[in-house]
Structure 1
Amino acid sequence: MSTRLAWGPGVLLAAVGAALGWVVHAVAPVVPWLTASLVLGVVVGCIPPLRRLLDGVFRPGLAVASRRLLRIGIVVLGLQLSLLDIARLGWIAVIVIVVLVAVGFGVVYLLGRAFRLPGDEPVLLAAGFSICGVSAVGAMSAARRSDPEDGGAPVAMVTLFGTAAIAVLPALAVPLGLGQGRIYGDWVGASIHDVGQVVATAGSAGAAALAAAVVVKLTRVLMLAPMVAIASVATRRRMRAAGEDVRGPLPPVVPLFIIGFVVAVLIRTFAGGALPPVVWDIAGTVQSALLATALFGIGASLRLERLIRSGWRALVTGAIGWIVILGLALLVPLAVSLA
């Protein structure tokens, strides 16, 4: 059987799952498309009669969906980010956001180590919570050549707390004195993981909050490139120390899909005004479709029994890390106001 025929059934299944996720989102807009796709994948993976097919004929395609399509989705994500929008935040705000990402990453990583999460779960959880959710988990996993199973708990925690934020953050806005305008949007963009969850949380507060939230969020997304490059360099050193470079090529210092992401950012920055808005809207839809397909593939490949064994530790790590990041993110509206 040719390679394409081998992975075709699994990719088709993941695409159908992503389409069903979109239907769920259309019927219940409060449920993000990506979250719905992941949950549907997990549900499919829990059906005993289907497991033989998922681990058999569908497995090659699900692997392609959860890795290759995820990376392509990350590249297309770069088309949503313009350096000009980031520049308008002011240098104080940008520095604060960069520090927030670094501190958030460090806190969650240390918590994961303290709770003895297995394998690469601590670093993947830290990337997901501090940078851009599932996209960061996938990018960091690729750079570190992590065991696919290590991504299960981080993806689940990013989805759980990101979804909870859709209800929790609007409820906290008034008691914290943030209102429902730009200040609230800055906080949302600085604290929530996935772009889709940011849109869902800030969109209900109006256009000003949504615009502010997206710019701050995409500034965090830009940190994906240097963080993944650092992880890749660390992986190369680890493999050399272990002598693993003898058995195969080392991962690149900067993975190809991260280079593509940066190129996409530059295209949006310098060609953003030359093309009609519909082009960028289509790119956003394609990005969401690719990531939804990848998330269904990830969900269908998960095995809940493994998540249950370390789930409580990942849950506590995620909860504490989320609270810390919510608190630190309150500095971003202050920094923007000073800019």
Structure 2
Amino acid sequence: MVSLTVTRAWPRLHLPGIALAAAAVAMALVVSRFLPALSPAIIAVTAGATFHNLGWLHERLRPGLQFVAKRVLRVAIVLLGLQIALPQVLTLGAPTLLIVAAATGVTFAVTPLLGRWLRVAPGTALLIAAGVSICGASAIAAMHESADSDDDDVASALGVITVYGTAAIVALPLLAGWLGLTGRQLGVWAGAAVHEVAQVAAVGAASGAAVLGVAITAKLARVVLLAPMVAITTLRAQAGAACRTPAGASVRTETEAALRARTGARRPPIMPLFVAGFLAMVVVRSLGVLPETLTSAVPPVTSVLLAAALFGLGTNIDLRKLAKGGRAVLLGGISTALITGISLAGVALLV
């Protein structure tokens, strides 16, 4: 009876927020047509932040917005895996893959250390590291499941990613022209350095089809690293928790183990289920068993779902808090400069 009541209450609680997110996505798609440099995802997250900071959100919208920000985003991340074919990524060649791995790995490892030096909250620093080094908002959401972070950390990281990623759309083509980079060099640089897939696409689209293809493929090579990075973070967090266990805690550990055995509770997984789903979709796409009609239909659907989810996430961005959290903005700038510099040096030497 309780389950039936909850089922009947679900539409009343969630549909208003879902409807608002759907309207925001429709608006974002229309605006993006007239302003191709701005992806629907960027427009949607900006719209969500605008709604929140202008006080236009009624509390009854919150359940639906939280649903799209969490559940819909997880579905979008799983579908993102269907855009990645490992044989296609390998066509980039060893030098480009080395640039991607070095820029991503160093940025992901160094950013939390810089965050500690700048006295940025550890959760925020880790999410900024994931967003800058891997794939923007998708990485932030995936890492949030494995990091000791809260909604304020997510909002800060999203704000930072949006600001610097949008700036890169304009800055990279201008710098590439000034530096005399070839189209392939610009494509590799954009794919190895820019935060969001959509932002990389915007850089590539403004520079020609050849640049776009290289840039997207290089970016997808970074996205592949999402699952192992999440797994590594989870294992480190579990190992750190074990190391911090005080002496004499073995009795508590045994008690907790007995409690888990009685209740059926288990240790948190190495990676969230939706990240495992993402990895499974990469494998499926790489095996080439899906018809092209399906794989070509996936990117637009994923883009719509990501825009809806980012609108929901954007409604948690408080610009006043972001302005006060100047250290997080500074960390995001340093981290962005780090991945941009490493990848540019690699491009100059190897491409």
TM-score, normalised to structure 1's length? Answer: 0.90
Which is higher, the Rg of structure 1 or of structure 2? 2
Q: In the alignment, which of 278, 300, 305 is matched to residue 285 of structure 1?
A: 300
Contact map agreement 1:89 1:336 (CA 8 A) in 2: no
Structure 2 counterpart of 1:182, one-letter code: R
Structure 2 counterpart of 1:25, one-letter code: S
Partner residue of 1:144?
147
Residues 272-309 of structure 1 show CA distances to partners (whole Å, capped at 9, x for unaligned) of: 6x522x42232001111111111100111222332222
Find the aligned partners of 1:11 and 1:158 in 2 and give their Cα distance. 24
Contact map agreement 2:52 2:318 (CA 8 A) in 1: yes
Aligned CA distance change for structure 1 residues 334 and 173 (closer, same or farther; 3 Å): closer
Consecutive unaligned residues of structure 2, counting only runs of 5 or more, are 246-251
Consecutive unaligned residues of structure 1, counting only runs of 5 or more, are none
Partner residue of 2:101?
98
Partner residue of 2:110?
107
SS in 1 for 2:269: coil
Aligned CA distance change for structure 1 residues 264 and 334 (closer, same or farther; 3 Å): farther
Runs ≥4 in structure 1, deviation > 3 angstroms?
235-250, 331-337
Contact map agreement 2:52 2:317 (CA 8 A) in 1: yes
Find the aligned partners of 1:286 and 1:153 in 2 and give their Cα distance. 27
Find the aligned partners of 1:196 and 1:209 in 2 and give their Cα distance. 14
Is residue 323 of structure 1 aligned with residue 337 of structure 2? yes
Aligned-residue identity in percent:
36
Structure 1 counterpart of 2:52, one-letter code: G
Find the aligned partners of 1:334 and 1:257 in 2 and give their Cα distance. 37
Q: In the alignment, which of 3, 20, 33 is matched to residue 27 of structure 2?
A: 20
Q: How does 1:1-339 map to 2 (within 5 A)?
A: 2=6, 4-5=10-11, 6-48=13-55, 50-51=56-57, 53=58, 56-144=59-147, 146-179=149-182, 181-238=183-240, 241=244, 249-271=266-288, 275-276=291-292, 278-310=293-325, 312-333=326-347, 337=351
Find the aligned partners of 2:120 and 2:328 in 1 and give their Cα distance. 7
Q: CA RMSD in A?
A: 2.2
Q: CA deviation at 1:253?
A: 0.8
Find the aligned partners of 2:214 and 2:78 in 1 and give their Cα distance. 23
Find the aligned partners of 2:267 and 2:241 in 1 and give their Cα distance. 7
Find the aligned partners of 1:332 and 1:25 in 2 and give their Cα distance. 32
Is 20-29 or 186-195 further displaced after alignment?
Answer: 20-29
TM-score, normalised to structure 2's length? Answer: 0.87
Q: CA deviation at 1:9?
A: 2.0
Residues 7-48 of structure 1 show CA distances to partners (whole Å, capped at 9, x for unaligned) of: 222222222212211121112112111110001001111223
Find the aligned partners of 2:348 and 2:317 in 1 and give their Cα distance. 40
Is 3-12 or 65-74 further displaced after alignment?
Answer: 3-12
Find the aligned partners of 2:204 and 2:179 in 1 and give their Cα distance. 16
Q: CA deviation at 1:331?
A: 4.1
Is 258-267 or 210-219 further displaced after alignment?
Answer: 258-267
Residues 235-271 of structure 1 show CA distances to partners (whole Å, capped at 9, x for unaligned) of: 3345555689779754211211111111111121112
Q: CA deviation at 1:95?
A: 3.2
